[in-house]
Structure 1
Amino acid sequence: MFRARQILVRTIVLAVSTAAFAACGQRGPLYLPTDPAAAQRATLPETLNPAASRAPASSPADSASTPRP
């Protein structure tokens, strides 16, 4: 009896997770947007590491003398 319930639960979980993975995402081919509004959006590397997207300081001496916000 316990084995049948375990098989049923695993089957339901598998079906629900398959439906969730199949339903997520955008349909159609992938593309890079070229409209002017897209130019202001962050790229994937900027999203993952926001500190790397900031402009680097001109020299270490200049950055040491400027106060941080």
Structure 2
Amino acid sequence: MLKAFQILVRRFVLVASVAAALSACGQRGPLYLPSSAAVPAVTPAPATPVPSSVAP
């Protein structure tokens, strides 16, 4: 009886895995960035070290 239960569970896991892989989250069409995200990011200027004579 235990062997039949193991086979049933393995089949269920296999079918669920195949269904999840084939569904692929349901997205359709090409991937793209929204127009607002197409603007390149501005990088800040590098920090300049403080001279040791000015430091407290």
Aligned-partner Cα distance in 2 for 1:31–1:60: 37
Structure number with the higher helix fraction is: 1
**Correspondence 1:50-69 to 2 at 5 A:** 55-61=42-48
Aligned-partner Cα distance in 2 for 1:41–1:10: 45
Which letter does structure 2 place at the counterpart of 1:12?
F
TM-score by length of 2: 0.53
Which letter does structure 1 place at the counterpart of 2:44?
A
Partner of 1:40: 36
Q: Which residues of structure 1 form unaligned runs of 5+? A: 43-52, 65-69
Which letter does structure 1 place at the counterpart of 2:47?
P
Partner of 1:45: none
Aligned length: 48
TM-score by length of 1: 0.46
Runs ≥4 residues deviating over 3 A: none
State the Cα distance separating 1:31 from its structure 2 match.
4.9
Q: Which residues of structure 2 form unaligned runs of 5+? A: 51-56
Between the aligned residues of both structures, percent identity stands at 35
Determine if the alignment matches structure 1 residue 7 to structure 2 residue 2: no
